[in-house]
Amino acid sequence: MTGHSAGMPNGGVLDELRRKFSGRFGTAPVVGAYAPGRVEVLGNHTDYNEGFVLSAAIDRGTFFLAAPSGTSECRLVAGDVMEEVRFDAASPKPSDNHCWSNYVKGVFAGIAKRARPAHGFMGMFLGNIPLGSGLSSSAALSMSSGLALGGLYGAMVSAEDMARIGQAAEHEFAGVKCGLLDQISSLFGKAHRLVLTDFRSLDVDTVPLGDHACFLLCDTKVKHSLVASEYNERRASCEKAARFFAGVLDHPVTHLRDVSWAEWERHHAAMDPTAAKRSAHVIGENKRVSEGCRFLRNGDLKGFGALMFESHESSRVQFENSCEELDFVVETARRTRGVLGARLSGGGFGGSAVILADPADTGRIGKALAEAYSRRFGHPCETRVVVPSDGARLMPA
Give the model confidence (pLDDT) of 276-314 as tens digits.
Answer: 999 999 999 999 999 999 999 999 999 999 999 999 999
Do the beta carbons of residue 99 and residue 166 sit within 8 Å?
A: no
Residue 349 pLDDT: 85
Q: Write down the catalytic residue from 47, 59, 80, 182.
A: 182
Number of domains the chain contains: 2
- DSSP class of 6: T
Does the residue 3 lie in any domain? no
pTM for this one? 0.91
Q: Is the pLDDT of residue 239 over 60?
A: yes
CA proximity to 66, closest of 16, 108, 105, 28: 28
Reported as a single tens digit per residue, the pLDDT across 312-354 is 999 999 999 999 999 999 999 999 999 999 999 888 888 899 9
Do 307 and 345 fall into the same domain?
Answer: yes
What are the strands, taking DSSP E only, across 128-202? 193-198
- DSSP class of 380: P
- Report helix, strand or coil for 126: strand
- What residues contact residue 229 under an 8 Å CB cut-off, 6+ apart? none
Do 34 and 175 fall into the same domain?
Answer: yes
- The pLDDT > 70 percentage for the chain reads 96
182 is catalytic: yes
CA distances from 225 to 134, 192, 246 (A): 16, 35, 34
Does the residue 5 lie in any domain? no
Q: What CATH code is carried by the domain that includes residue 264?
A: 3.30.70.890
What are the backbone angles phi and psi of residue 359, rounded to the nearest 5°? -55, -30
Taking the CA of residue 2 as centre, how many other CA atoms within 13 Å lie in the half-sphere pointing to its CB? 18
Range of the domain at 236: 214-386
- DSSP class of 157: -
Do 85 and 181 fall into the same domain?
Answer: yes
Q: What integer is the mean pLDDT of 211-218?
A: 93
Do the beta carbons of residue 351 and residue 224 sit within 8 Å?
A: no
Helices (H), 154-272: 159-169, 181-188, 227-248, 261-267
